[in-house]
Amino acid sequence: MVEQEIKNERPVFKTIEKFEKTYGTRNFIEVALKETEGVGGNTFFSISKGFITQNNMRKYKNSLGFSANEDIHTFLVDSLNKLIKKYKELPKKESAPAEKKEEKVEKKEDKKKK
């Protein structure tokens, strides 16, 4: 019975350091270095995203965890740097002119009146 109780316990995570960026209205992304507490605890990188409630509580939607070993660390950093470089080389997309955006709003308002 003791084995079952131990297996059913959820691991406790300790955040060593984290960086957070808010975006949009109430969204955030968090990059952190964490470890599981206890004997033989694992250290890992975590990338999480979520939202901030009206009560300013953070709710997590998705999270990825990666072992904090040198191979994974090197792969993540190199891959992200290559993707960022590639993104900067892409042709810049033009945003819609302000006049067209206003026309769309007016059309929606006209439909509501009908």
Domains of the chain: 2-90 (2.30.31.10)
Report how many helices (DSSP H) and strands (DSSP E) the chain contains, helices first: 3, 4
**Phi, psi for 77 (deg, rounded to 5):** -65, -45
- Tens of pLDDT, residue by residue over 77-86, are 999 999 999 9
Strand partners, 80: none
- What is residue 9's DSSP assignment? S
- Can you tell me the distance from the alpha carbon of 23 to that of 93, in angstroms, rounded to the nearest whole number? 20
> Alpha-carbon Rg of the chain, whole angstroms?
22
- Tens of pLDDT, residue by residue over 23-77, are 999 999 999 999 998 767 799 999 999 999 999 999 999 999 999 999 999 999 9
User: Taking a C-beta distance cutoff of 8 angstroms, is the pair 49, 29 a contact?
Assistant: yes
Q: Rounded mean pLDDT of the chain? A: 84
pTM surpassing 0.85? no
